[in-house]
Amino acid sequence: MTSALLIGMGPGLGRSLVRTFALDGHKVSFVGRRAEEIARHQADLRAEGLDVTGYAGDAGEPEVMDRIHGEVAQKNGPPDVLIYNAAVIEPSRFVTCSGMGEVKYGTAPGWASLGEPATREYVLKTLNTNVVGALHAVQSVAPAMIERGAGTILLTGGVLAFGPWLEWGPTSLGKAALRSLGLSLDKELRPAGIHVCTIAIHGTMQAGTLYDHDLVAQAYLGLHHMVPEEWRPEFHFRPDDAGADPDSPEAR
């Protein structure tokens, strides 16, 4: 049985990814910031008969993550699959205030806005989680993958990497940097037998739509099972034309 590690557990895509990979036969470890929520996710998924273990930790804190990586490797062995799904998700602009208390698209839950222009410290904080945390995770699992000559590293990107949305300045910056990191890692690690792919999700995930969390999770699993001849450095999940900027005047 192979081992998978997801960093960035939540009730949406994170939980769907854990369930999807566990049902595929992986021993899945997952990491999230809130201990009570992690314990609840673990209990619920184990009640379904799935081999999962949750860990409470912040992806932006390397000392905490080093401890978790050690515990994961001791329990399930070095991960064969790493999924980096962690991000600071908070609407904000760089210079002006939008005046919106909440940003909401369709029927998906909304996000409370930062409420003020992003400071230098805030931007660095988001980049620490959205990008540097991903690099730290890769550096933690890649040596064993290189030694094994096989592995899969999947990074959760988005349409924001290609065209920033008005209310998502720092998040757009992070997704663009994460995409660049993934493209670089593909060049570096593909010769070692490791598939690195950034998944660009071009719409807001909502249950019961073409962007249903479970559908997106199945795409991740398909990327893991690709033969080397089919590997790609990035994958666009875009089943329709819902990738336009919803904050643009044309969309209002």
pLDDT on residue 251: 45
pLDDT above 80 for 12 = yes
pLDDT above 90 for 182 = yes
Mean pLDDT across 229-251: 72
* pLDDT tier for residue 250 given thresholds of 50, 70 and 90: very low
pLDDT above 50 for 249 = no
Q: Which of 32-36, 98-102, 153-157, 203-207 has the lowest mean pLDDT?
A: 98-102
* pLDDT tier for residue 246 given thresholds of 50, 70 and 90: low
Where do the domains of the chain lie, and which CATH numbers do they carry?
A: 3-251 (3.40.50.720)
Q: How high does pLDDT run on average in the chain?
A: 93
Coil vs helix vs strand at 99: coil
Mean pLDDT across 109-129: 93
Coil vs helix vs strand at 234: strand
Mean pLDDT across 146-156: 98
Mean pLDDT across 33-56: 97
DSSP-derived letter for residue 215 is H
Task: List, as one string, the DSSP characters of 22-45.
Answer: HHTT-EEEEEES-HHHHHHHHHHH
pLDDT on residue 181: 98
pLDDT on residue 99: 75
Joined tokens for residue 3: 């081992």
pLDDT on residue 240: 63
pLDDT on residue 51: 97
pLDDT on residue 245: 54
For the entire predicted model, the pTM comes to 0.94
Residue 236, beta-bridge partner list: 200
Q: Please, which residues have CB within 8 angstroms of residue 120's CB and are 6 or more apart in sequence? A: none
